[in-house]
Amino acid sequence: MHFPLKTILPASLAVLALFSACSKDAGQTETMFLASDRPHVFAYTFTEDKTPLLTDTLLRGTQVQVYTSDKQKYEKQKYFRLKTKSEALYVKEANLVMESRNSVLEDSVFVRTPASVIDDTLSSHVCALAEKGKSYPVVGYDILSENGLVRRYLVACGKDTGWLYSKYTVFTAEEAASNYMPQLYDSIHSRVRNTFGGGEALGCDYYPVDKPRFADNPMPEQVYSLYLNISPAVVGKIDSFIDLAKHTRINAFVLDMKDNECPAFKAEAMERYSPTNFKWGGKNKEQMYHYAVRRLHEEGFYVIGRITCFKDSYFVRDNPDCAITDRSTGEPFFHNKAYWPSAYDRRVWQFNVELAKECVRKFGLNEINFDYVRFPDKMQSVENQINYHNRYNETKVQAIQRFVQYACDEIHPLGAYVSIDVFGETTNKGYTTPYGQYWPALSNVADVMCGMPYPDHFAQGYGGIRNPWNNPYKTLHVWGKNAQARQAECPTPAKVRTWVQAYHVMRYVDPNGIDYNGYNISQEIRGLYDAGCQDGYITWLSNSSLDKYREKRSAFEVDYLADYLQRQATMQDTILNIQEKTVSLPL
């Protein structure tokens, strides 16, 4: 529901003033509310020569008692006195209304950050994209906060009317046209090359974002987590995984909610948007997930639900008009053993976010982890053969950042966090990726960045390392340093919680590669912590074998932050001892 933005007619106040003037009690007050087209209302005192002097600012929406018979006039404007404990304060007649819902007076707002306009808040349906620098008429709002700010405006956007978060708006064209701290961030991102067609880095938004901290859903400072796939042989044995975890430092689990051609349960969102996903959701799996999440919460574990977004063959089967298509045939484009919904398509966004919201509501998940938040990789040779159906003429990096922005806006009100999986390559400096993942742009809006720097994915010589897959500490340390450098390129960086390789080196990379046992997994994590990436880890072991996790248990028994601090202290003691011995040597 929205409230119309109309003030009480000035004639109404005139009637009230006349009534009060005729009243026997000249000090009679009327309950009113402060109104303005800005969060604050100016309050004045009057000098001896009857000139208003700006004295204070008050929040709009505030309930006040007004002496309707005590007014001042200045340059054809009326000022009414407020009942206060201190000096006599006056506000303009135009800043007083009879109902709190009429406290917001702005006729239009300007957009500083491109943002989704939602015409149905129940379904998160995107009807339009509000463009940077443009002005949009305001026809309503939802909630006025205690600081005088509107939460969401109801705006007219072309032929559509929908909701726009006020955090993406400003009151002047000049503010809307400018970027945040351009002398710093424009300088950084203008130097980034668009070598592979992912889009200009400068086209993304780097305005600060308030990252939530939910009092009733605290995120552990260190998230040490195991990944569990959707198999009943895995999630169905949750008590065995809990028993393992309770004897280690593991405090979180990542559970699959939807992978490509692997829906976890028969979700209502699947029934509405993708019947094929719904069909293959499996019988009784919802009950299995209810039990698993309940048991995890009972034992004090933080629970994260993983959803793959833009690699979903079942969704494409049901919605071919939302797919990346072959220009020559008009048919969905098959790539890397799957069909890919276009990351430009808002219906795809809506499906994945509605599924995420359902999972939070239904199971009480603490966090949603989005994977495949990207366009397909390895597409440069066929770019001219395919149609992405880019309705809003966005670059890939813009579309991916805007999806994450939209997902956070829709999921945060439920009290859950949002993490994003990105390729290890995204920490490389100097260019935007061809599949649309640009680390600083995503870190600026997401709650958690989950890089996937699996050592056997790196090329020979990465960071000067021969066979990176056989050097887990060095490889992850170099990667972590690069990640920290990218974190510094946005004003509100996310936490960095990294996927670590927990499987044997793939045979096509090196049939004689090292086994990622407990020792080597711990070397990966120590490399990350020594590089400054200290918000935790997630194990990537696709089969989620309980026996394999048991074999690697030694890696999960370590408190890596305490381990890092202890190793730093030992190193410092060693340096001091060497210095003392050097000083004591005879000349």
Q: State pLDDT tens for residues 132-169.
A: 999 999 999 999 998 999 999 999 999 999 999 999 99
Cα-based torsion angle of the residue sequence 381, 386, 392, 398 in order, rounded to the nearest 10 degrees: -30
Longest dimension (CA), the chain: 103
**Measured distance between the N- and C-terminal CA atoms of the chain, rounded to whole angstroms:** 85
| Beta strand ranges found along 96-236 (DSSP E) | 96-97, 108-111, 115-120, 125-130, 135-141, 152-157, 160-165, 169-170, 223-228
* Predicted local confidence at residue 586, as pLDDT: 61
Report the chain's mean pLDDT, rounded to a whole number: 93
- Enter the CATH code of domain 219-563: 3.20.20.80
Nearest CA to 98 out of 182, 192, 13 is that of: 13
The CATH number of domain 109-178, selected from 3.40.50, 2.60.40, 3.30.420, 2.30.30: 2.30.30
DSSP characters over 514-581: PP--HHHHHHHHHHHHHTT--SEEEEE-TT--HHHHHHTHHHHT--HHHHHHHHHHHHHHHHHHHHHH
For residue 145, which of 122, 129, 165, 163 has the smallest C-alpha distance?
165
Q: pLDDT for 320-339, tens place per residue?
A: 999 999 999 999 999 999 99
- What are the sequence ranges of the domains in the chain? 10-102, 109-178, 219-563
What pLDDT sits at residue 7? 34
Tell me the per-residue pLDDT of 343-387, one tens digit each, with 9 for 90 and over: 999 999 999 999 999 999 999 999 999 999 999 999 988 999 999
pLDDT at residue 15 tops 50: no
CB 113 within 8 A of CB 491: no
State how far the alpha carbon of 240 is from the alpha carbons of 52, 199, 459, 546, in Å.
74, 46, 37, 8
What is the reported pLDDT for 5?
A: 43
Query: Over 70: is that where the pLDDT of 25 sits?
Result: no
Q: What is the pLDDT of residue 146?
A: 87
175-224, pLDDT tens digit by residue? 999 999 999 999 999 999 999 999 999 999 999 999 999 999 999 999 99
Query: What pLDDT score does 43 carry?
Result: 97
Distance CA 239, CA 218 (A): 23
Q: Which residue has the tokens 């100097």?
A: 430
pLDDT band, very low/low/confident/very high, at 86 (cuts 50, 70, 90): confident
* Interval 497-504 mean pLDDT: 98
